[in-house]
Amino acid sequence: MEAEANSGSPEDSWAFFQRPGEGCRTVPLAGHVGFDSLPDQLVNKSVSQGFCFNILCVGETGLGKSTLMDTLFNTKFEGEPATHTQPGVQLRSNTYDLQESNVGLKLTIVSTVGFGDQINKEDSYKPIVEFIDAQFEAYLQEELKIRRVLHTYHDSRIHACLYFIAPTGHSLKSLDLVTMKKLDSKVNIIPIIAKSDAISKSELTKFKIKITSELVSNGVQIYQFPTDDESVAEINGTMNAHLPFAVIGSTEELKIGNKMMKARQYPWGTVQVENEAHCDFVKLREMLIRVNMEDLREQTHSRHYELYRRCKLEEMGFKDTDPDSKPFSLQETYEAKRNEFLGELQKKEEEMRQMFVQRVKEKEAELKEAEKELHEKFDRLKKLHQDEKKKLEDKKKSLDDEVNAFKQRKTAAELLQSQGSQAGGSQTLKRDKEKKNNPWLCTE
Ligand SMILES: Nc1nc2c(ncn2[C@@H]2O[C@H](COP(=O)(O)OP(=O)(O)O)[C@@H](O)[C@H]2O)c(=O)[nH]1
Ligand SMILES: [Mg+2]
């Protein structure tokens, strides 16, 4: 066979490297090769790795979310019943390891707590949307890592959202419509009528029709069981027509006939959970777990996560095509973003430099002004000081002159006195005469 592929013309050899469907030759095999075991290899690998499935239950407190999960998985998941006194909506997440035959399932059940319990329910959908986005974001971050370990990564993305509708028999509440509308592009919504034993058979038919028409008229996209795989197309097609499923939950086992069955007993009779004439529980279990679990996982990855990833990367500036619709590689986008970033950085740097120079100039001018003022003050003070000094010097000089004059007179007086004492009393008359002329003269 190999010889056949290689012995052809050069065009044939070229065709050998072309992709399947692009002129690739189909060649018969002469004997068993063994690659028909690939599906088995895949199954073995998947079984050894185990599976994970994440369910989100959205619905008002007390609508039977926890009970339905226990009933679906035939076990008792621990958990305290929520109260009606929550100030806001929260999400409670629990992960369990389940085993059936040799297949392991890591099951995460996320349930709303406090949904529908507040007077103002305007923002009730927000924590749910944020939770779903947070799981997508965590996966995206793992994907973007250089060393990613997606095969061991615990994928917490929500695969199915069971939306619990109260069995009012009227129509959907606006809270339900708003919440489903906000979630429908992020998660596979499977609407279910909870506690459907509270509604009569004829009411239920009308209620289902009403709900479906309201969902359609409000453009809410709910999950449709896939009909493209012919092995399940028929059952899925039939089940799509039964949506929303009317379910009943119970973990209580009652003896009916000679069999133990999950049922709810009332004074007027018993309702059997797994009886298709009583409710759609079996249909839900069949569709959710036994037929479409893999499709729900697939849709989550290829539709909802893909949308989140695309929006997120576009938000970050990544694009597949340039403005002229030419393909744009990640490398080019990265380079363009990097250059844009560097350009902005440079512009910011330049702005900061300019601002710094301006500030320095302003400060310099301020300092110069202050210096000038100081000089002027100094000059004023100096002049004042000089004037003062001159005044004091003048005063000193006049005082010195006075002292000198005084000294001269004193000397003259002393001289006179000494002459007087020598001349005796004969001089007294003369002295009196002199005294009259000069009062400064001392007589003693
Ligand atoms: N009538 C009826 N009661 C139910 C059904 N499922 C659960 N319940 C009861 O409703 C109450 C609240 O159920 P629970 O599962 O704790 O509700 P959650 O708050 O939504 O988790 C419990 O007393 C359950 O026994 C049902 O299908 N029909
Ligand atoms: Mg609960």
Examine the domain organization and report whether 309 and 374 are in the same domain: no
Q: Is the CB of 244 under 6 A from ligand 1?
A: no
Instruction: Return the amino acid letter for 48.
Output: S
Q: Is the CB of 195 under 6 A from ligand 1?
A: yes
Q: Is the CB of 113 under 6 A from ligand 1?
A: no
Contacts of 381 (CB under 8 A, 6+ apart): none
**Residue 13 maps to a domain:** no
Contacts of 176 (CB under 8 A, 6+ apart): 163, 165
Pair 161, 190: CB distance under 8 Å: yes
Examine the domain organization and report whether 74 and 164 are in the same domain: yes
Could you give the angle at the alpha carbon of 113 between the alpha carbons of 109 and 118, nearest 5°?
155
Distance in Å, CA 84 to ligand 1 centroid: 14
Q: What's the domain range around 198?
A: 40-316
**Residue 128 maps to a domain:** yes
CA-nearest of 168, 176, 171 to 209 is 171
pLDDT value of position 349: 95
Examine the domain organization and report whether 369 and 220 are in the same domain: no
Examine the domain organization and report whether 390 and 282 are in the same domain: no
Instruction: Return the amino acid letter for 198.
Output: A
**Residue 436 maps to a domain:** no
Distance in Å, CA 81 to ligand 2 centroid: 5
**Residue 333 maps to a domain:** no
Q: Whose CA is nearest to atom 8 of ligand 1?
A: 64
**Residue 103 maps to a domain:** yes
What 8-state DSSP symbol labels residue 286? I
Q: Is the CB of 66 under 6 A from ligand 1?
A: yes
One digit per residue, the tens of pLDDT, for the chain of length 444 reads 343 444 444 445 444 455 555 678 999 999 999 999 999 999 999 999 899 999 999 999 999 999 999 999 999 897 777 777 888 888 999 999 999 999 999 999 999 998 988 888 888 999 999 999 999 999 999 998 888 888 889 999 999 999 999 999 888 999 999 999 999 999 999 999 999 999 999 999 999 999 999 999 999 999 999 999 888 899 999 999 998 999 999 989 988 888 899 999 999 889 999 988 899 999 999 999 999 999 999 999 999 999 999 999 888 877 777 667 776 677 777 788 889 899 999 999 999 999 999 999 999 999 999 999 999 999 999 999 999 999 999 999 999 999 999 999 999 999 999 988 887 665 565 666 666 666 565 544
Tell how many helices (H) and how many strands (E) occur in the chain: 13, 9
Examine the domain organization and report whether 361 and 283 are in the same domain: no
Contacts of 192 (CB under 8 A, 6+ apart): 68, 162, 163, 164, 165, 244, 245, 246, 247, 280, 284
Distance in Å, CA 202 to ligand 1 centroid: 23
CA-nearest of 242, 249, 239, 241 to 194 is 249
Helix (H, G, I), strand (E, B) or coil at 110: strand
Q: Is the CB of 71 under 6 A from ligand 1?
A: no
Examine the domain organization and report whether 303 and 344 are in the same domain: no
Examine the domain organization and report whether 282 and 383 are in the same domain: no
Q: Is the CB of 69 under 6 A from ligand 1?
A: no
Last residue of a domain, one of 350, 379, 394: 394
Q: Is the CB of 249 under 6 A from ligand 1?
A: yes
Last residue of a domain, one of 394, 420, 437: 394
The neighbourhood of ligand 2, an ion, using CB within 5 A, equals 65-66
Examine the domain organization and report whether 206 and 302 are in the same domain: yes
pTM for this entry: 0.73
Distance in Å, CA 115 to ligand 2 centroid: 11
- CA quadruple 133, 137, 140, 142: dihedral sign: negative
Q: Is the CB of 284 under 6 A from ligand 1?
A: no
Q: Backbone phi, then psi, for 94, in 5-degree steps? A: -135, 135
Could you give the angle at the alpha carbon of 78 between the alpha carbons of 152 and 253, nearest 5°?
120
Q: Whose CA is nearest to atom 12 of ligand 1?
A: 62
CATH of the domain at 92: 3.40.50.300
**Residue 86 maps to a domain:** yes
Q: Is the CB of 63 under 6 A from ligand 1?
A: yes
Examine the domain organization and report whether 219 and 354 are in the same domain: no
**Number of domains the chain is built from:** 2
The residue whose CB lies within 8 Å of the most ligand 1 atoms, and thus the one to mutate among 58, 65, 67, 86, is 67
Counting from 1 in the atom list of ligand 1, the atom nearest the Cα of 81 is: 16
Pair 81, 117: CB distance under 8 Å: no
The DSSP bridge pattern shows strands 269-272 and 259-266 to be antiparallel
pLDDT value of position 179: 95
Examine the domain organization and report whether 52 and 144 are in the same domain: yes
pLDDT value of position 256: 86
Q: Is the CB of 80 under 6 A from ligand 1?
A: no
Pair 157, 108: CB distance under 8 Å: no
Examine the domain organization and report whether 343 and 221 are in the same domain: no
**Residue 358 maps to a domain:** yes
Q: List own/partner pairs for 79-88 with CB under 8 A and 24 or more apart.
A: 79/111, 82/113, 82/114, 84/114, 84/117, 85/117, 86/61, 86/113, 86/114, 86/117, 86/118, 87/114, 87/118, 88/114, 88/118, 88/123, 88/127
Last residue of a domain, one of 351, 372, 394: 394
pLDDT value of position 161: 97
Examine the domain organization and report whether 308 and 375 are in the same domain: no
**Residue 52 maps to a domain:** yes
